[in-house]
A = this chain, B = another copy of it.
Amino acid sequence: MTDISGLKIGVLGGTGPQGRGLALRWAKAGLTVVIGSRAADRAEAAAAELRELAGVTAISGLDNAGCAAAADVVLVAVPWDGHRELLESLRAELTGKIVIDCVNPLGFDKQGPFALPVEEGSAAQQASLVLPESRVTAAFHHVSAVLLADLSVSEMDIDVLVLGDDREATDVVRALADAIPGTRGIYGGRLRNAHQVEAFTANLIAINKRYKAHAGIRVTDV
């Protein structure tokens, strides 16, 4: 089992629902978390709120560059619009680090959600191209922000697919998934197969609407 207990986890876009929910759960699990946001004061306000919710002290808030510089492993949980520009601006801070992209490039119209075409193939592949000296993985696309934020949900009941071409990096990210109760990290393939995992979030949103659920997936026979 990969030891992640000493890692500092940065969450870029940590004031958005997905980043905030994962930060909360990682902090509850005893990890050190740094929330990143465009404005340091908004990041620190979110961190203060999460410290109280989680009942822990090891959550701080910084601007995105400060967060990326401070952390050992960095989750990218920013809107797709602006994804590339943010990562380009943080290339130096992210050098040599494990980066986890959880961004889902989706559009919405009258018929509901749909996958946006991505020139590089996927958000994760774009991150990998923009950050050639980082260890880019993709994971946490399908975790419900609503359930993450609701601490009365003690077990998440979801598998997190972890994609990447660097075995050691995907093992660390799988351990970060395992650290959240009821969540299991499963290797899900190489980065070139990230598009369909990101796009599948559109299907989960359609399922949520039809069944009034917060759907996730479990991989069977594993």
Q: Footprint of B on A, CB under 8 Å?
A: 111-115, 144, 157-158, 161, 163, 186-190, 192-193, 195-197, 199-200, 202-203, 206-207, 210-211, 213-222
CB-CB under 8 A from A158, the residues of chain B are 220
Pairwise interchain contact B221-A206, C-beta atoms closer than 8 A:
no
> Which of B188, B200, B217 contacts A206 (CB under 8 A)?
B188
Contact B216 A220 (CB under 8 A): yes
Chain B contacts for A203, CB-based, 8 A: 161, 163, 188-189, 193, 196-197
The answer to whether B207 touches A222, judged by C-beta atoms less than 8 angstroms apart, is: yes
Q: Is B219's CB under 8 angstroms from A219's CB?
A: no
Shortest C-beta distance, A21 to chain B (Å), equals 15
Tell me how far the C-beta of A193 lies from the nearest C-beta in chain B, rounded to whole angstroms: 5
Question: B190 touching A219 by the CB < 8 A rule?
Answer: no
Partner of A189, one of B195, B196, B197, B206: B206
A5 to chain B, nearest CB (A): 25
The answer to whether A192 touches B114 (Cβ under 8 A) is yes
The answer, among B111, B186, B206, for a CB contact under 8 Å with A187, is: B206
Assess A115 versus B196: contact at CB under 8 Å? Given A157-B221, A217-B218, A222-B213: yes
Report the bound CA distance from A193 to B186 in whole Å. Answer: 23
**3 smallest A-B Cβ distances: which pairs?**
A189-B206, A196-B199, A196-B196
Minimum distance in angstroms from A32 CB to a CB of chain B: 29
Q: List 17 A-B contacts (CB under 8 A).
A: A111-B192, A113-B189, A115-B193, A158-B220, A187-B211, A188-B203, A188-B207, A189-B206, A190-B206, A193-B203, A196-B203, A207-B222, A213-B221, A215-B221, A217-B217, A217-B218, A217-B219
